[in-house]
Amino acid sequence: MSAGLELKDVTIRFGGLKAVGDLSFSVAPGELVGLIGPNGAGKTTVFNLITGVYTPTSGQIHFEGTPVPGKKPHEITRMGIARTFQNIRLFSSLSVLDNVRAAMMTHLKRGIIHSLSRGPVYHREEAAIEKDAIELLDIFGLANRCDANSKSLNYGDQRRLEIVRALATKPKLLLLDEPAAGMNPSEKDDLMQLIRFIKERYNLAVLLVEHDMKVVMGICQRIAVIEYGCKIAEGTPKEIQCDPRVIEAYLGVTVES
């Protein structure tokens, strides 16, 4: 069994619909892999399988050699897998900083006694959380919005905050579901740089679902293409852009990178 993420012959059926069929692919530690395909191809379903929202009908999913199916989403977060959502899911009543703080709580060591007594352990941990949260927000240009209500952020900033929140759980593998959706071209350029930066800085593996081909082709080392839940191609951005099956099923025309 390899390190990183490995899917082997994964299938999930919803009644008569095979949303994902015999899908195999892997993401090595530190690798940036794209998962692309037409609308309804099964990309978000793959994320839901990896994060324990769905259990495969058959097949295997391992992360760092440990089986993922059967584990609860919060257990999978603790294994080192974090995700963002296609539809932004921030805590809309909380401030920007508190959204990140809440995500960081998944790694707290203190027990209920320390939490209730609010002694030195509690204060030390709170200070460390705040420092880490502000450092992360700073990387994403959001440190000056710490006290703002998260729903007051513009769309691009909310998408960035989603990524910060995922990073706050200290993942080894980050699943990004359409992070560039709704962003303008210059925000997309910034996002590409940020993804590259955090991958290096935090030694992350990234699995990216994204419809914007400039983003996908610009940053992914390897790309898997699915159609009707099945893999139709896998390769480098160059190989994918020239693959006749991918062009027919999805790209339509070759993409300028």
What residue ranges bind ligand ATP (CB under 6 A)?
14, 17, 19, 37, 39-45, 86
Sign of CA dihedral 233, 83, 195, 41: positive
Complex with ligand ATP: residue 17 or 127, whichever CB lies closer: 17
Closest distance to ligand ATP from the beta carbon of 97 (Å): 30
Closer residue to ligand ATP (CB): 49 or 205: 49
CA–CA gap between residue 195 and residue 163 (Å, rounded)? 9
Alpha carbon distances (Å) from 119 to 110, 114, 122, 124, 168: 11, 6, 5, 9, 24
| Least gap, CB of 245 to ligand ATP (angstroms) | 17
Of 14 and 197, CB closest to ligand ATP: 14
Written as six digits, the tokens of 62 are 């391992």
C-beta closer to ligand ATP: residue 129 or 226: 226
**Range list of H helices, 43-89:** 43-50, 73-79
Whole-number minimum distance, CB 81 to ligand ATP, in Å?
Answer: 17
Tokens coding 190: 């910034």
Q: What's the sign of the alpha-carbon dihedral 152, 157, 159, 165?
A: negative
Query: Least Å distance between CB 42 and ligand ATP?
Result: 4
Give the span between the Cα atoms of 60 and 6, in whole angstroms.
8
Least Cβ distance, residue 128 to ligand ATP (angstroms): 37
Tell me whether residue 171 or residue 229 sits nearer to ligand ATP (CB atom).
229
Find all residues with CB under 8 Å of 144, minimum gap 6, and list them: none
The number of C-alpha atoms within 13 Å of 62 and in the hemisphere containing its C-beta is 14
Q: Minimum distance between the CB of residue 3 and ligand ATP, rounded to whole angstroms?
A: 26
CA separation for the pair 107, 223 (Å, rounded): 31
Residue among 40 and 119 whose Cβ is closer to ligand ATP: 40
